Amino acid sequence: MIRERDLKNLFPLHIPSMEHIRAMEEHFSSLRELVQESIVGALRIDFLPSETEFGPDGTEGLVVQACMPVDENTCQPFGFLSGGASLALAETLAGYGSMLLLEQGLRPLGASVSANHVSALAKGSLALGIARPLHLGRSTHVWNVDIVEYGCEDHLVSTARVLNHILPKPQARPCGEGHN
């Protein structure tokens, strides 16, 4: 769990506060139409307000959550949540979490996702992704994402580890200019 004092060491020029995170959530919400035209919309991922939680030692850490229905878009043919949909939820949630913590001019880019699927979740259920940062460096963020059954948080479905590279946002290019 990342503690407030650790954030000061990891982000010496920009210390993300809950106020900053709330402002980023509001900005993200203003992009709802654009977001809905991505995998977020296709899988009907719904981000929940970010929270802080207190660890056993009393320190505070960030928790980012999102729900995803287990339906025809996220099921494998036998009526259970697809492992690929679980991975998409995990990477999306970790990217969103990193985005909330970054200052303007930076963006997260998913580099690696690994997961273990430990139980099934039947069609008609609701998957809840719960992401916590494990490492917040200048050039990388590592997140742990647990996917559980909504309303039954003891029912672990998948657990994933996501690595995000932190990169500068690309400069806008005139139309027609490609990558070299």
CB 65 within 8 A of CB 130: yes
Which has more pLDDT, 23 or 100? 100
> Pick from 53, 62, 57, 59: which is nearest to 22 by CA?
62
pLDDT tens string 99-135: 888 888 899 999 999 999 999 999 999 999 999 999 9
**4-165: in CATH 3.10.129.10:** yes
Separation CA 140–CA 142 (nearest Å): 7
Tokens of 63: 């928790």
Domain boundaries, the chain: 4-165
Strand (E) or helix (H) holding 4: helix 4-10
C-beta separation of 66 from 46 below 8 A? yes
Task: Quote the percentage of the chain above a pLDDT of 70.
Answer: 79
The residues assigned a catalytic role are 91
Q: Is pLDDT of 165 > 60?
A: yes
pTM: 0.80
